């Protein structure tokens, strides 16, 4: 479903970026682009949302450390996770615990129950990061439009 076709705001409780699927260097470049913009505007992760960023490998973590990305991630309130099987495989932080919870995730599958009992929306790394800041499912373009 194209994000622009969403007419009614969809509140999120969990934003999950990373894992094997969206935890590569270029994915973290995308998370950082959005989150650096947010930090510059004085924005943080929405109070209604928990945002997890999980590295796909220790090499990606090292890359992010060298680029200074972790400072930005911490500044906006993202929770940083080391590489491991995570919410996408039904384990680790990032799982929903109640059926009414909504997750936006950059993982590659959203089978019912795979990441807990809640609903899972799949999105790009930039959309996951933008949604974590907003507290609703939004694209980075839409988020920027709210703060012009």
pLDDT tens for 27-39 read: 999 999 999 999 9
Mean pLDDT computed over every residue of the chain? 90
| CB atoms closer than 10 angstroms to residue 71 | 12
> Which regions in the chain score pLDDT beneath 50?
none
List strands edge to edge, sheet with 79-81. 79-81, 50-54, 14-18, 102-105, 119-122
Distance, CA of 27 to CA of 22 (rounded, Å): 6
- What is the per-residue pLDDT for 22? 86
Tokens at 91, concatenated? 């384990």
Structure-token match 């373009």, residue found: 141
pLDDT given at position 5: 77
- What is the homologous superfamily of the domain 9-146 according to CATH? Aconitase, domain 3 (3.30.499.10)
pLDDT score at 58: 95
pTM given for the model: 0.93
Contact between 24 and 148 (Cβ < 8 Å): no
The torsion region of residue 116 among left (phi > 0), alpha (psi -120 to 50) and beta comes to left
- The number of helix segments (H) and strand segments (E) in the chain equals 5, 5
């Amino acid at each position: 479903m194209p994000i622009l076709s969403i007419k009614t705001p969809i509140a999120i409780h969990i934003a999950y970026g990373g894992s094997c699927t969206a935890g590569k260097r270029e994915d973290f470049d995308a998370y950082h682009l959005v989150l650096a913009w947010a930090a510059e505007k004085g924005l943080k992760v929405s109070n209604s949302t928990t945002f997890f960023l999980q590295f796909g490998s220790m090499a990606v973590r090292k890359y992010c450390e060298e680029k200074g990305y972790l400072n930005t991630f911490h500044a906006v309130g993202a929770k940083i996770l080391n590489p491991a099987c995570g919410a996408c495989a039904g384990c680790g932080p990032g799982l929903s615990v109640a059926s009414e919870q909504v997750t936006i995730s950059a993982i590659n599958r959203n089978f019912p129950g795979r990441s807990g009992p809640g609903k899972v929306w799949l999105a790009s790394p930039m959309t996951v990061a933008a949604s974590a800041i907003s507290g609703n499912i939004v694209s980075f373009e839409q988020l920027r439009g709210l703060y012009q």
